[in-house]
A and B are shown apart, each in its own frame.
Chain A
Amino acid sequence: MTRKSRVLAQCFILPFILSSLVWCSGCWSSKEVEDLALVTLVGMDLRIENGQEIWKASALVLCPQSQTQGEQAGQESRERYYEGEGPTPQTAILAYSRAMSRTPFYGYISGYIIGETVAQENLIHFVESASRYWQTRPRNVYFLARGQASEVLKAGGSLDNRLSIELTEFTDHRATATGRSIGVYRYEFEKWLASNDRDAVLGVIQTVPASEASYKPGKDQGEEAQGGNESGSKQNNSASSEESNSTQENLVEGIGVFRDDKLVGYLNREETEGCLLISRQITKGEMAIAVEHDNQLFTYFLFKSKSKIKPLVNNGRISYQVIIQTAGGVNDQPGFTLGVKEIRELETAVGEQLKAKALAAIEKAKEYDSDFLGFSQALHRSKPKVWKSFGSNWRQAFTTADIEVIVKAQITKTGKLGDKLEVKRASE
């Protein structure tokens, strides 16, 4: 290259590259924060009218925190509800976007609530639209609304008034630990939907009347659609939306089961716990299980658990062995001190209870013909040739197999600090 051409290159090419950068991605793509509507949660519902799909998109938008509100600002809900309808998910989203005075911004979206009808009729249409959008993040959470997703969004959050934060926190820390439901991230859900050896599940959220939101032992939400709940699951409604009903609260409990891309059913409390014991590793657990021993009820606090699915092939017949190991604590009953013998007996009793839960989940999975517990996945990994022999009927490897559950429950803490407290009791 001659000196002249080098100078020409320096004079023209570099400014050209720099100017093209400015023209292509310059300040035109800048947007001021005060012009953005920060969408935090999106819900999607579907109904069929005259044979035509009508999609209903709903969104919660973070309201700018006004400085003049001072301390009271934190007391009020800071998410505003919007909704729109259209023949496709995109048109429905555009419909609510038009109602906003600012440009919707999805960089802060924490998750999506999928309506029951969407999950049953046309899940892929919405999930694919969401996953292809550039501001969607892998750690966005997915929940399944039992009923209408828009109702869940309208009801809003409770403790810190932001449903988006509550759902993210619940997925990150509490869903599995409490044994109430399952937290599913976007990447996980899409992976299951695309997988050819496992089915998908989602945590279930629904709105319930506040009057019924009291602790009712034995009453199961999974069995009664709008049933009673533990007090810890309360989610107060929002004050921001005019449409919000003050008597409605959000509740996260249970698991929705998919077969391929269709919702096929739900798991009740017992089955949910069993599902979590088999498919998830529990750490920092907060599950409490009542165990009876010598006509006395003890509480087993499950701290942690891990499981392993072992596929076995004997003479061409497939069977599975599920080994669940748990560790937990049992606080002594008043007036009763646990010895080594009692602890061993209690461990057996706990193991039986946990085994019952796991078997219930397995039974449900077989009933739905949905392998959401990962049995086929385990077979695929350890014996790929056997798994391949099933071809597209891979679920048969699970539904027709014998499954043995072995639970090794340990009691690592008894809460014993010293001798029992001798409290005088009223004579009968």
Chain B
Amino acid sequence: MLKELWPNPKAQQKQLILVSYDENLKALRQVFNLCSDIVFHEFIINSEHPLRAFILYASPLCDYQIICEQLLKSVLMSNGPKGVKITKANAIEVLKEKLISLAEVVVANNLKEIEDKVLQGYAALLIEGSPLAIIVNVKGGDKRAINEPDSEPSIRGPKDGFVEDFETNMTLIRRRLKTSRFKSIIMEKGELTKTKIAVCYMEGVANPKVVEEVKQRIARINSDSILEGNYIEEMIMDEKFSLFPLIQYTERPDKACSSILQGRVVILIENSNMPLIVPSTFTTMLQAAEDYYHNSIAASAIRILRIIALNLALLLPAVTVAVFSFHQELLPPELISTVSGARQGLPLSIALEIILFEFTFELLREAGIRLPKKIGEAISTVGGLVIGQAAVNAGIVSPISVIVVAITAIASFSVPNFEAGISLRFLRFSLILAASLLGGIGIMFGLMGILIHLCSLRSFGVPYLAPFAPLVLRDLKDSIIRAPWWFLTTRPRTNRALDVIRQGDSQGPRKPKKGGGQS
């Protein structure tokens, strides 16, 4: 199928540029037949014997100002450098070296290269009588401005976020990592999309085996298209199927750089504003970039709060079902009396109530995401309130179900990783079903299943539950809690970093000695 879509790339590669101007023009017009965005601009170059020439570029990808002022102007308005006559034989050389004042100018000798470059935002200049073409970087076109990341907002910390433009994203990282040890290996994947993928890491910090593994897994990809990070994410994961995100992604350049500095590898993908980060562990799901910008005590407290929220989001509905249907003696009699009174005459069991209400809430949430932002907010908030109140008033569900689903929803929003939130939704429904069948035993079985699954997971060879299983004591300082910066002297060992020392010891604050001496 792939071969039919693209007949024989190797054969095309061999198709060299001819001396005949008309033949070259004809061949390229044939390649870009019916491509309305490809511009062929023919003109005459001033020389002793006027030479026919044309430039070829993809208008949406190029900057017209560069084409006009720096390419065409230097070619058309000039009579050539002093003492040099432009002829068919030396035209390419003279233009490249003496006339065109652009940074990236290369020479190509085959049509395939021209085609590839043109589709990447370069302009190709072909001149009568020359079997070579000048390829000039005139990239431009519209791109999204750098905005605050929507999916990972923060109060304190940088507000810039990745965009879809590959170069911009590289710039955002390079601005933060001003060292030649920061490496980015660019690969191209997708026969039709020619998507650039950059494997970014810190030399001497990232483990070369992990880097090599990343490169190999990406190199294995043979697809016609890569339009977003998940296209390659699912192909390079360690497991074929897993509910848990084995590869992290981020919209924040600071988080990407922090990951690189921890010895992890960041995979930048063209046209995606969400670079991938490998290896990834369970604890990273609960960490936000902002944790490192706040006071360590506050950050640790917030992390613990998130863990509580994670448990609430996962277990609260299931535990409610189990307790109200199987283990009533666990509740205080006042509560059970109130709930019993409120549930008089209701048609559904509490398990069904919660499942239906969870389902309704998921519908509202999905509708809220798909609708325009402002309407979406109104739908999800007002919809939840109105439907909940109406359902209680109509005697369809009991207030306890509405309260439980509402608390679960609030708790699930506090998990920083969106993919993890989706996993939680699936697991929550499974646990509710298990609880409605077997009560507390069902929840225990469900949790054991989840734990066994988590223990079996690996992300680029790193155990998913690290640093808890296997236990790496030194990495616990940046897991559930976030130790103060002066204490974070080593990089996480779970990432298999080569150079584990991040900073010197004894850099903590010290009080001045009594009597005015130096500390």
| Residue pair B326, A30 in contact (C-beta under 8 Å) | yes
Chain A residues in 8 Å Cβ range of B445: 18, 21
- B340 touches which one: A30, A40, A64, A107 (CB < 8 A)? A64
Interface string of B321-358 (1 = CB under 8 A from A): 00011101100011011111111101001100000000
Known contacts being A63-B337, A65-B338, A78-B337, is A107 close to B437, with CB within 8 Å? no
Task: Give complex CA distance A62, B445 in Å.
Answer: 34
Q: Which of B285-344 contact A (CB under 8 A)?
A: 324-326, 328-329, 333-334, 336-344
Which residue of B is nearest A32, CB measured?
Answer: B349
| Residue pair A64, B341 in contact (C-beta under 8 Å) | yes
| Residue pair A67, B341 in contact (C-beta under 8 Å) | yes
Minimum Cβ distance to chain A for residue B298 (Å) = 39
Task: Give complex CA distance A78, B333 in Å.
Answer: 11
Which residue of B is nearest A78, CB measured?
Answer: B337
Q: Which of A1-32 contact B (CB under 8 A)?
A: 18, 21-22, 25-27, 29-32
> Does B281 interact with chain A (Cβ within 8 Å)?
no
Task: Give complex CA distance A36, B439 in Å.
Answer: 17
Chain B residues in 8 Å Cβ range of A78: 337
| Residue pair B340, A36 in contact (C-beta under 8 Å) | yes
| Residue pair B341, A66 in contact (C-beta under 8 Å) | yes
- A33 touches which one: B334, B336, B437, B441 (CB < 8 A)? B336
Minimum Cβ distance to chain A for residue B351 (Å) = 8
Known contacts being A64-B337, A64-B341, is A32 close to B436, with CB within 8 Å? no
- B344 touches which one: A22, A26, A34 (CB < 8 A)? A34
Chain B residues in 8 Å Cβ range of A26: 437-438
Q: In the complex, which of the residues B334, B341, B441 has the most CB atoms of chain A within 10 Å of its own CB atom?
A: B341
Task: Give complex CA distance A40, B349 in Å.
Answer: 25
Which residue of B is nearest A29, CB measured?
Answer: B326
Known contacts being A21-B438, A22-B437, A62-B333, is A107 close to B328, with CB within 8 Å? yes
Q: Which of B439-453 contact A (CB under 8 A)?
A: 439, 441, 445
Minimum Cβ distance to chain B for residue A402 (Å) = 50
> Does A108 interact with chain B (Cβ within 8 Å)?
yes
Task: Give complex CA distance A30, B342 in Å.
Answer: 19
Chain A residues in 8 Å Cβ range of B346: 34
Which residue of B is nearest A33, CB measured?
Answer: B340
Task: Give complex CA distance A31, B436 in Å.
Answer: 11
Chain A residues in 8 Å Cβ range of B337: 38, 62-65, 78
| Residue pair A107, B438 in contact (C-beta under 8 Å) | no
> Does A105 interact with chain B (Cβ within 8 Å)?
yes
Task: Give complex CA distance A239, B437 in Å.
Answer: 41
A residues contacting the other copy or chain, number (CB 8 A): 26
Which residue of B is nearest A27, CB measured?
Answer: B437
- B333 touches which one: A22, A34, A108 (CB < 8 A)? A108
Q: In the complex, which of the residues A29, A62, A65 has the most CB atoms of chain B within 10 Å of its own CB atom?
A: A65
Task: Give complex CA distance A65, B340 in Å.
Answer: 7
| Residue pair A30, B341 in contact (C-beta under 8 Å) | no
Task: Give complex CA distance A208, B332 in Å.
Answer: 31
| Residue pair B340, A31 in contact (C-beta under 8 Å) | no
Q: In the complex, which of the residues A18, A29, A107 has the most CB atoms of chain B within 10 Å of its own CB atom?
A: A107
Minimum Cβ distance to chain B for residue A71 (Å) = 13
> Does A283 interact with chain B (Cβ within 8 Å)?
no
Minimum Cβ distance to chain A for residue B265 (Å) = 36
| Residue pair A30, B325 in contact (C-beta under 8 Å) | yes
Task: Give complex CA distance A62, B334 in Å.
Answer: 9
Which residue of A is nearest B350, CB measured?
Answer: A32
| Residue pair B344, A107 in contact (C-beta under 8 Å) | no
> Does A135 interact with chain B (Cβ within 8 Å)?
yes
Minimum Cβ distance to chain B for residue A356 (Å) = 43
Interface string of B403-446 (1 = CB under 8 A from A): 00000000000000000000000000000000011110100010
| Residue pair B329, A32 in contact (C-beta under 8 Å) | no
Minimum Cβ distance to chain B for residue A109 (Å) = 9
Chain A residues in 8 Å Cβ range of B336: 33, 36, 38, 108
Q: In the complex, which of the residues A30, A33, A65 has the most CB atoms of chain B within 10 Å of its own CB atom?
A: A33
Known contacts being A22-B437, A30-B436, is A67 close to B326, with CB within 8 Å? no
Task: Give complex CA distance A40, B332 in Å.
Answer: 12
Interface string of A23-55 (1 = CB under 8 A from B): 001110111111010101000000000000000
Minimum Cβ distance to chain A for residue B322 (Å) = 9
Chain B residues in 8 Å Cβ range of A32: 324-325, 343, 349-350
Task: Give complex CA distance A108, B331 in Å.
Answer: 9
Minimum Cβ distance to chain A for residue B502 (Å) = 46
Task: Give complex CA distance A234, B122 in Å.
Answer: 97
Task: Give complex CA distance A215, B340 in Å.
Answer: 41
Chain B residues in 8 Å Cβ range of A29: 326, 439
Which residue of A is nearest B337, CB measured?
Answer: A65
Chain B residues in 8 Å Cβ range of A33: 324, 328, 336, 339-340, 343, 350
Chain B residues in 8 Å Cβ range of A62: 333, 337
Task: Give complex CA distance A64, B346 in Å.
Answer: 14
Task: Give complex CA distance A135, B445 in Å.
Answer: 24
Minimum Cβ distance to chain A for residue B439 (Å) = 7
Which residue of B is nearest A18, CB measured?
Answer: B445
Known contacts being A21-B438, A26-B437, is A108 close to B329, with CB within 8 Å? yes
Which residue of A is nearest B435, CB measured?
Answer: A30
Chain B residues in 8 Å Cβ range of A107: 328-329
- A36 touches which one: B328, B344, B438, B441 (CB < 8 A)? B328
Chain A residues in 8 Å Cβ range of B326: 29-31
Which residue of B is nearest A165, CB measured?
Answer: B333
Minimum Cβ distance to chain B for residue A73 (Å) = 9
Chain A residues in 8 Å Cβ range of B328: 31, 33, 36, 105, 107
Q: In the complex, which of the residues A18, A22, A32, A40 has the most CB atoms of chain B within 10 Å of its own CB atom?
A: A32
Task: Give complex CA distance A107, B333 in Å.
Answer: 9
Task: Give complex CA distance A40, B445 in Å.
Answer: 33
Chain A residues in 8 Å Cβ range of B343: 32-34
Minimum Cβ distance to chain A for residue B336 (Å) = 6
Task: Give complex CA distance A26, B322 in Å.
Answer: 12
Task: Give complex CA distance A34, B439 in Å.
Answer: 17
Name B residues whose Cβ lies closer than 8 Å to a Cβ of A: 324-326, 328-329, 333-334, 336-344, 346, 349-350, 436-439, 441, 445
Q: List 20 A-B pairs, Cβ < 8 Å.
A: A21-B438, A21-B441, A22-B437, A25-B439, A25-B441, A29-B439, A31-B325, A31-B326, A32-B325, A33-B336, A33-B339, A34-B344, A36-B328, A36-B340, A64-B337, A64-B340, A65-B341, A66-B344, A108-B329, A108-B333
Beyond the given A33-B339, A40-B333, could you list 10 further A-B residue pairs with CB under 8 A, ordered by the A residue number?
A27-B437, A27-B438, A31-B328, A33-B350, A34-B343, A36-B340, A62-B333, A63-B337, A64-B344, A108-B336
